[in-house]
Amino acid sequence: MACFFRRCVALQLAEVCGLSEDVFIPLISAVPNVFCSQLQMKRGAVVEEVSAGRGVIHFRLNRPILAQKLLEQLCSEPDGFGVKSELLRHLQGGRTLVEFSSPNIAKKFHAGHLRSTIIGNFIANLKKALGNEVIRVNYLGDWGMQFGLLGAGFERSGSQEKLRTQPLEHLFEVYVQVNREAECDESVHSAAAEFFRRLERGEDQALALWRQFREITVDEYKRIYQRLGVHFDHYSGEAFHQHQTQNVLDELMTRGLLKTTEKGTAVVDLSGAGDLSSYATLVRSDGTSLYITRDVAAALDRKQRFGFDEMIYVTDKSQTVHFRQLFHILLAMGHQWAERCVHVAFGLVQGMSTRRGEVVFLEDVLEEARSRMLNNMRQSSTSKELEEPEQTAERVGISALIVQDFRGPLMSDYKFDWDKVLQAHGDTGVFLQYTHARLCSLLRRHARETYSCCDVSPLVDSRSVSVLQHLLREAPKRRCVFKHVSRWVVLMRFLCVFSHLVAVAHRELPVKGSSAAVAQARLCLFSAVRSVLANGMRILGITPVEKM
Ligand code: ARG
């Protein structure tokens, strides 16, 4: 019994401290009876003192030893996030497909697409850190009646010259104009329908134009995503799966899952009771497929091509029903793996606009973030010594956008406000970057960019201890992020509080003018926490800057 009890205590301590329980088992075994009050531990033990109160046991930890153990661990794994063992314990393995961003050709890249890009990138980074093989997929909206309109519009008013110089803008412009014309001119409608029929028939000329729109769009996006620090392994899209939808329909038919309605549509009954009180339409009355039909085809194709163990779709919450229906259909078709398909839904961002007005292009958001940030940096005159102020402003501006997206609960909508997003203080991306850059500058000044652990026993002051304690205390919470990706708020909060504590420590614990032993210990602390900060930022999709 006593042995079991000791083991429990050791486990709990290990959990609290983020260290292995093996550290604690010998210590706890050394306690003859933990219920006795005031037991002195051997000198040099992690637990300095154990005492029993009414229903509680107090453990007083030995600060220098904890600091030493923690910093040794941090220094030995500079690329691990904080405490690598946290990750190791939850290593998942397996292949994860994350589908995110997924804008529509010739249409707006709205705030929802930006949020999907940020959240999807984070999930992919986190899964990668957990040891999974990650496949990043961008599923473009590249098929549907709108391509009839776009094709017909381009034949009327498109310019190859503009398509080369300003591809996204020009496609959008043509698309908006043809929609306007179609409102009052029936002949535009028939031209669009005719163009789409040509596409569906696979007519060379129409397909060549469509292919050009798609290639040009993908090239542009690749360039812009790179500015954002995001990449994809595959650009797929709805068109790609268009020709496979027939196979899906045939399979559904054979399994007796597809029902034809009086209106001439074909549906899958999702009611359970077989009374069509809930259903999904897979074929329109004119025989054409729908968004969900293409998604079923896409899922089957991905499973076959990539053999994923789990698939994660990231879109705003307006598509929740769509994905529920999608997974339901896949399961009804007998694909048990659909149980490992997840839709990560998030709330809507309201009122994101740029100088050009409502957000239409991703690049406008990046430009706006950069110019506003540059302006702020100039006002605080921090940008003077920077070699590349524009690039730094962009990186910092982007981190501000990222942090903003992770601040609140996943499902809540939020109102976007540039001034709030780019604030230099508080829980913002600017503050994280600022703290990181300050640490880099301190370490540069003392030529301590790389680690080495030293005697850190001087780190017993309250500032150092609060930084270290935060690392220890938050470890179990951080671990829960590794179990449930949607709990990233925990990671965000950890980093924000951490950066505030680090900023205070940086301000109040001078290196210059301290004795050599104290200076060394402090530099060791600062280089370790800089790495924790940078690793956490990178998982969120932020590129830490070294100067700002
Ligand atoms: N292109 C879609 C949109 O902009 C998002 C695609 C989401 N993914 C999917 N597999 N349906 O709304």
Assigned domain for 130 exists: yes
Rounded to whole angstroms, what are the CA distances from 208 to 151, 211, 213, 283? Answer: 11, 5, 9, 27
Kindly state whether residues 410 and 535 are assigned to the same domain.
yes
Q: Averaged in consecutive runs of 10 residues, what is the pLDDT profile of the chain (548 residues)?
A: 57 62 62 41 58 69 79 74 54 88 95 95 89 95 93 95 95 95 93 92 94 97 96 94 88 94 94 89 89 96 97 97 98 96 94 85 94 91 78 96 88 91 94 96 82 80 89 69 70 89 96 92 92 90 94
CATH number at residue 416: 1.10.730.10
Regarding whether 50 and 16 lie in a shared domain, the answer is: yes
| Structural domain includes residue 353 | no
Other CB atoms within 10 A of residue 191 CB: 21
The protein residue whose alpha carbon is closest to atom 1 in ligand 1 is 141
Q: Which of 313, 346, 379 is the last residue of a domain?
A: 346
pLDDT of residue 16: 57
**Would you say the C-alpha torsion 425, 428, 433, 435 has a positive or negative sign?**
positive
Q: Give the pLDDT score at 480.
A: 65
Interface predicted TM-score (ipTM) of this complex, two decimals: 0.99
- Do 385 and 525 lie in one domain? The reply is yes
456 and 437 inside one domain: yes
How many folded domains does the chain comprise?
A: 4
Which CATH number belongs to the domain containing residue 119 in this structure?
3.40.50.620
Whole-number Å distance between alpha carbons of 154 and 152: 5
Structure confidence at residue 116 (pLDDT): 97
Same domain, 471 and 528: yes
Query: How many CB atoms lie under 10 A from the CB of residue 469?
Result: 17
Residues 340 and 392 in one domain: no
**Which domain covers residue 17, as residue numbers?**
2-61
Active centre residues (catalytic):
107, 110, 113
Q: Identify whether residues 196 and 325 lie together within a single domain.
A: no
Within the chain, how many helices (H) and strands (E) appear? Answer: 21, 15
Which pLDDT value is given to residue 544?
Answer: 97
Instruction: Select from 315, 316, 323, 327 the residue to mutate for testing ligand 1; criterion: most ligand atoms less than 8 Å from CB.
Output: 315
For 311, phi then psi, to 5°, come to: -130, 135
Report the nearest atom of ligand 1 relative to the CA of 107: 4
**72 is a domain residue:** no
Q: How far does residue 106's CA lie from ligand 1's centre (Å)?
A: 14
- 508 in any annotated domain: yes
Ligand 1: lining residues by beta carbon, under 6 Å = 99, 102, 104, 139, 141, 295, 313, 315
Q: Are 412 and 519 in the same domain? A: yes
Same domain, 412 and 513: yes
Q: What string of H, E and C letters represents the secondary structure of 50-86?
A: EEECCCCEEEEECHHHHHHHHHHHHHHCCCCCCCHHH
pTM for this prediction: 0.88
Q: Give the closest residue (by CA) to ligand 1 atom 6.
A: 102
Residue 486 falls inside a structural domain: yes
Tell me which H or E stretch contains 391. Answer: helix 389-407
Pocket test for ligand 1, best of 109, 142, 319 (most atoms within 8 A of CB): 319
Q: How far is the CA of 321 from the centre of ligand 1 (A)?
A: 13
Ligand 1 centroid, distance to 104 Cα (angstroms): 8
How many angstroms separate the alpha carbon of residue 213 from the centre of ligand 1?
A: 18
Alpha carbon of 66 to those of 21, 108, 235, 475, 480: distances in Å?
14, 53, 48, 14, 23
In a domain, 528, yes or no: yes
Q: Are residues 298 and 331 in the same domain?
A: yes
Residue 129 domain-assigned (yes or no) = yes
In a domain, 79, yes or no: no
Q: State which of 231, 260, 289 marks the end of a domain.
A: 231
**Residue 412 pLDDT:** 87
> Which residue minimizes the CA distance to atom 11 of ligand 1?
295
Q: Which residues contact 548 (CB under 8 A, 6 or more apart)?
A: 377, 382, 383, 386, 392, 396, 433, 434, 437
In this structure, the answer to whether residues 215 and 242 fall within a common structural domain is no
Tell how strand 349-350 and strand 414-415 pair up: parallel
Write the residue with the smallest CA distance to atom 4 of ligand 1.
103
227 and 243 in one domain? no
- Measured in angstroms, how far is the CA atom of residue 239 from the centroid of ligand 1? 13
> Which of 102, 214, 245, 302 best tests ligand 1's pocket when mutated (most atoms within 8 Å of CB)?
102
